[in-house]
A and B are shown apart, each in its own frame.
Chain A
């Protein structure tokens, strides 16, 4: 009992800037424990040609797209919104990159020679993704469209746009430097992991070392009051959607570079659910406090679960069911918390009135 009180105090004192991510970590550890017992060689790590291999690295590596979009989604979610279009943006960005590498693909000429400048292959899809995200943000922040609807439009239209870019085909390509983004190694680690670390550190520093994070939380928690305090709420909201689009674009590049093909129909399919799940598991509040570390943990849980289930021989599509169940359970736990909080607030409110 005493210990519990102590813990509570510590939690309160540990303060506001990051939510408590103890429980998500416990969940992730229990997934790993499950594998320790039931999956042979799960914890084996080996170094081949100076590259690290093993199931754990695999979870990290495969989890990179989810982690990336979760970082963007966290900020959007904290402003009180949601971004359903990330999957479609992944498809668009991948399609765009492939199209830039092989502009003549439609004509059916199968040649692997063109080497479009890496800069172009990276910058144009990323810029496009950012702009598409900004468009979402514009609809939400300046026009006042509900976030679900605004991003639902791009979720569906976006896949259409990706299909139009690829003309409905799967574009296969070879591009040695671009492929590095998806399958290269840096310092022994798969390059996508390095990318995620970079984006995470950048985002964390941007939000927690400047006042941006607090502005995002304030805008989400009380838009009007924030505006009256001189916080540029609309700009912040639009930018979070833009950033979410950028993250999705980067994830799209990693996926495309990894499989050396752009599949407009399947790339990033259902990935919005993964990101939302990761963000919610990570303890970010819809309109309020957010936790980037929590979102990363959430993404690891989702990926760990997916890998575990697939290694047990279940078809990957079925993983959807498990993810749905997890989200609903986490949301249920949180709503329980929410109800307690609301009833407490009501009582204190009574005290005042």
Chain B
């Protein structure tokens, strides 16, 4: 694909620039920052955020939003931990149940949004509280995961040499990004997502399956989110009903920083990947700094999101003016 230097690419270039600047400033300020280990850790520590961000990219490109992802991560974790602790269900069935729950929630939300023309934010906000509430119903406390297969999976890794390993869940993240690129760029379903985000009414008149696509987007997103939840429970080896509070903002930020327009129609999974890595870099820098409260991470992420939104608004305002010149 040819790279045109147009409005579409400016946010993506800005993303790359921010990543490079953050990385370089980290590398120059802190000892040991510029190492393969730190870089690999970016993938490891943010794998679940990244996985969920892939799904969220679809949703935002279609012009929607999903606020339920954080709660769904908690729900998946709590469900997994409790099923494993309280029943003799084989782990693979537990995993399938989790994915199914995600899909059902997403399908329901998508159907409400499409069939009843309800606002995505309202429907997914309800989904957010529903998933959280049900997690509390299952258990109020953190439940550890002691299942051997889960522990094995969490330890499984591809050796990278130098004693470094790429754990299975980081691999899942990378695979998910590749699948995301494939769906968005090489399938009709993916192109329909862009079409809906560009102009839903036109998409309808052009005969595209708008309803099916929309429902599928939310179903897919929630299923991917359940995968993210499973990865998170592998990462923490526990299920905690308060897990993932505020995760939706992290994920939305990663997507927006990655060059996806909040108004829909334009965006890339490749950009989202960089967006996730930028979030990871901020966290890493705060850890390296040592004396900053982790709450600063949230504040920085919020500021960064603000900046990128302001840039998007500025660019789209200029875009409108440019059309007059044509």
Residues of A within 8 Å of B313, CB to CB, are: 143-145
Interchain nearest-CB distance for A89 vs B (Å): 14
Binary interface encoding of chain B residues 273-317 relative to chain A, with 1 for a CB under 8 A from any of its CBs, else 0: 000000000000000000001011111011101100110010000
B126 near A160 with CB under 8 A, answer: no
A157 near B302 with CB under 8 A, answer: yes
Binary interface encoding of chain B residues 109-134 relative to chain A, with 1 for a CB under 8 A from any of its CBs, else 0: 00010001111011101110110111
B310 near A143 with CB under 8 A, answer: yes
Tell me, yes or no, whether A332 is within 8 Å of chain B by CB: yes
Tell me, yes or no, whether A167 is within 8 Å of chain B by CB: yes
A321 near B133 with CB under 8 A, answer: yes
Residues of B within 8 Å of A160, CB to CB, are: 295-299, 302
B118 near A331 with CB under 8 A, answer: yes
Binary interface encoding of chain A residues 149-178 relative to chain B, with 1 for a CB under 8 A from any of its CBs, else 0: 100111111011101100110000000000
Binary interface encoding of chain B residues 58-76 relative to chain A, with 1 for a CB under 8 A from any of its CBs, else 0: 0000000101000000000
Residues of A within 8 Å of B298, CB to CB, are: 156-157, 159-160
For the A-B complex, the count of residue pairs with Cβ-Cβ distances under 8 Å equals 120
- A153 to B77 CA separation, bound complex (whole angstroms): 25
Interchain nearest-CB distance for A156 vs B (Å): 4
* Least CB separation from B119: chain A residue: A286
Tell me, yes or no, whether A212 is within 8 Å of chain B by CB: no
Binds A, one of B177-185, B221-229, B245-253: B245-253
Tell me, yes or no, whether B33 is within 8 Å of chain A by CB: no
A323 near B293 with CB under 8 A, answer: no
- A84 to B124 CA separation, bound complex (whole angstroms): 13
A145-B313, A273-B125, A328-B112 are known contacts. Are A164 and B295 too (CB-CB below 8 A)?
yes
Tell me, yes or no, whether A327 is within 8 Å of chain B by CB: yes
- A149 to B125 CA separation, bound complex (whole angstroms): 12
A153-B249, A157-B299 are known contacts. Are A317 and B241 too (CB-CB below 8 A)?
yes
Tell me, yes or no, whether B92 is within 8 Å of chain A by CB: no
Tell me, yes or no, whether A146 is within 8 Å of chain B by CB: yes
Residues of B within 8 Å of A276, CB to CB, are: 122, 125
A161 near B248 with CB under 8 A, answer: no
Residues of A within 8 Å of B302, CB to CB, are: 153-154, 156-157, 160
A145-B309, A146-B262, A149-B309 are known contacts. Are A315 and B136 too (CB-CB below 8 A)?
yes
Q: Please give the number of chain B residues whose Cβ is less than 8 angstroms from any Cβ of chain A in the complex.
A: 42
- A339 to B134 CA separation, bound complex (whole angstroms): 31
A324 near B252 with CB under 8 A, answer: no
Residues of A within 8 Å of B122, CB to CB, are: 276, 327, 331
Q: Please give the number of chain A residues whose Cβ is less than 8 angstroms from any Cβ of chain B in the complex.
A: 44
Neighbour of B126 across the interface among A82, A156, A324, CB < 8 A: A324
Binary interface encoding of chain B residues 226-264 relative to chain A, with 1 for a CB under 8 A from any of its CBs, else 0: 000000000000000100001011001000000000110
Residues of A within 8 Å of B241, CB to CB, are: 317
A145-B309, A152-B252, A156-B246 are known contacts. Are A321 and B137 too (CB-CB below 8 A)?
yes
Binary interface encoding of chain A residues 67-103 relative to chain B, with 1 for a CB under 8 A from any of its CBs, else 0: 0000000000000001010000000000000000000
Tell me, yes or no, whether B140 is within 8 Å of chain A by CB: yes
Binary interface encoding of chain A residues 295-314 relative to chain B, with 1 for a CB under 8 A from any of its CBs, else 0: 00000000000000000000
A317-B136, A321-B137, A335-B118 are known contacts. Are A153 and B67 too (CB-CB below 8 A)?
no
- A235 to B326 CA separation, bound complex (whole angstroms): 33
- A148 to B121 CA separation, bound complex (whole angstroms): 7
Cβ < 8 Å to B, chain A residues 177-232: none
B262 near A321 with CB under 8 A, answer: no
Cβ < 8 Å to B, chain A residues 243-277: 270, 273, 276
Residues of B within 8 Å of A168, CB to CB, are: 293, 295
5 nearest CB pairs, A to B: A320-B133, A157-B302, A321-B133, A160-B298, A317-B136
Query: Which positions in B face A, CB cutoff 8 Å?
Result: 65, 67, 112, 116-119, 121-123, 125-127, 129-130, 132-134, 136-137, 140, 241, 246, 248-249, 252, 262-263, 293, 295-299, 301-303, 305-306, 309-310, 313
21 contacts between A and B (CB under 8 A): A84-B125, A146-B65, A146-B263, A148-B67, A149-B309, A153-B302, A153-B305, A157-B249, A160-B295, A161-B299, A163-B295, A273-B126, A276-B122, A315-B136, A318-B137, A320-B136, A324-B133, A327-B122, A327-B126, A328-B112, A339-B116
Extra inter-chain contacts (16) besides given A152-B248, A321-B130, CB under 8 Å:
A84-B125, A139-B306, A149-B252, A153-B305, A153-B306, A160-B295, A160-B297, A161-B299, A163-B295, A270-B129, A273-B129, A318-B136, A320-B130, A321-B133, A321-B134, A339-B117
